[in-house]
Structure 1
Amino acid sequence: MSDRRGMSMPFRVTGGRIAQTSGTAKITEDLRHLLSTRLGERVLRRRYGGGVHARLQDPNDHTLRSLIRREIEGALRDNLPEARLTGPLRLTHDESTLTIAFDYTTTGPTGNAAESVALTLPRTS
């Protein structure tokens, strides 16, 4: 379990207050936000993002999975060091979307927690 705490992503107001998330749910939200952000999209943090958007038109093969894994590992190392990939990436795609699924662990004061995440990104034509 992680002690990470902060406002929820996506941003929302609940009961007149800014919604807050903590623990592994916060890391999962931050991970989804990180990987769905394009590199260079954040003005003051140009290196923030997963880099996956640049690969949306590439064919689904071993090389693509290796490149995406390397980019995700780099994004986690630089921006979300509490999370670490533990297994192979699972990529599925059709004509309009690319889905990236993987397992990761979170480190925190009470030990490691294993989690899974799937992120679906639209493919542009």
Structure 2
Amino acid sequence: MNIAFPLHFDSHGRTATTDDDTHIREMIEQLLFTNPGERVNRPDFGSGLLQMVFSPNSPEMAAAVQFSLRGALQRWLGDLIELQDLQVTSQESTLTIGVQYARRQTGETRIVQITRAV
């Protein structure tokens, strides 16, 4: 049983839960869009992605963002997923992140695409 994010209650008044695939997707989103220092008991949790978005656009910056995100995903979710591919694109005010991974528990491959206006 996995607690849904964001925390809310279901129709029976209990804490809402999600399936494993949805839970992993939610954890990926939390990691990507949390800045280091935002979590009280885990000050190094997060990717710092939102801070990098406002840097000048260049191939070097894109490589740095992908390297940073890859490290964060492997560090914080490496026990649940095996990262296979990571793509980051930024066009004007829209950030798109594509994550392809295999669930360690089942070996199933999943692709998550997250798009956010920044």
- AA aligned to 2:112 is V
Corresponding residue of 2:107:
112
Q: 2:94 aligns with which of 56, 78, 97?
A: 97
The alignment yields a C-alpha RMSD, in angstroms, of 1.9
TM-score (norm 1): 0.79
Runs of 4+ aligned residues of structure 1 deviating over 6 Å after TM superposition are none
- AA aligned to 2:87 is L
Unaligned runs of 5+ in 1: none
Retained in 2: the 8 A contact 1:73–1:84? no
Q: Name the SS for the 1:72 alignment partner.
A: helix
Counterpart CA distance in 1 for 2:82 and 2:70 is 7
How far off is 1:36 after superposition? 1.1
- AA aligned to 2:111 is S
How far off is 1:122 after superposition? 3.7
Retained in 1: the 8 A contact 2:70–2:86? no
Is 1:57 the counterpart of 2:54? The answer is yes
Q: Among the aligned pairs, what percent are the same residue? A: 28
Corresponding residue of 2:35:
38
Aligned residues: 116
Unaligned runs of 5+ in 2: none
Corresponding residue of 1:86:
84
